[in-house]
Amino acid sequence: MKTYSAKPEDIVRRWYIVDAEGKTLGRMATTIASVLRGKTKPIFTPHMDCGDYVIVINADKIVVTGNRMDEKMYYRHSGYPGGLTTESMRTVMRKNPTRVITQAVQKMLPKNLLSNTVIRKLKVYAGSEHPHGAQQPEVLEIAE
């Protein structure tokens, strides 16, 4: 029996929408990462990008457990000596709530060249409005 390997013409991409209001960040991010990679499809091939597009709305209304809002730190570096900037999750949520979801999903993807193309299929918006109505996205249910 031969191993099946998906070909680019076999891949059909769908659009999903997730309402992040009241959802736990980590649980939501794992489901989104699986859909982006295509692991929910029977034609999943690890070396091909066979995943779907995911739109996340209401990113500013996510829920985290415990004291994570104050204890979780986000780091970025300017590239200069002494250029490390540290911010708490509460500060990042106030400034740019889309960064929290994008970074959570990105860190759940494999660290290879394919992850750069996979993360581009994630569209995150702080409010409930999004410009992807023409794609007719389906609702993706995520357990709370």
Note the pLDDT tens digit of each residue in 37-57: 999 999 999 999 999 999 999
Any domain includes 3: no
Catalogue the E-assigned strands of 60-128.
73-77, 84-88, 122-124
Higher pLDDT, 139 or 1: 139
Interval 73-118: pLDDT, tens: 999 999 999 999 999 999 999 999 999 999 999 999 999 999 999 9
Write down the mean pLDDT value for the chain. Answer: 95
Residue 65: both structure tokens together: 């457990």
3 neighbors 122 (Cβ within 8 angstroms): no
Higher pLDDT, 32 or 2: 32
pLDDT at 143: 81
Any domain includes 108: yes
pLDDT at 20: 96
Q: How far is Cα 114 from Cα 48, in angstroms, rounded to an integer?
A: 8
Any domain includes 105: yes
Residue 140 has pLDDT above 80, yes or no: yes
| Rg of the Cα atoms in the chain | 17
Any domain includes 73: no
Percent of the chain with pLDDT over 90: 94
Any domain includes 113: yes
Query: What is the domain-level CATH number for residue 58?
Result: 3.90.1180.10
Residue 144 has pLDDT above 80, yes or no: no
**Which of 20, 33, 6, 49 minimizes the C-alpha distance to 105?**
33
Any domain includes 132: yes
pTM: 0.93
Neighbours of 43 (CB within 10 A): 14
Any domain includes 84: no
Any domain includes 18: yes
Structural domain span for residue 38: 8-65+95-139
> What is the count of structural domains for the chain?
1
Owner of token pair 């709530």: 97
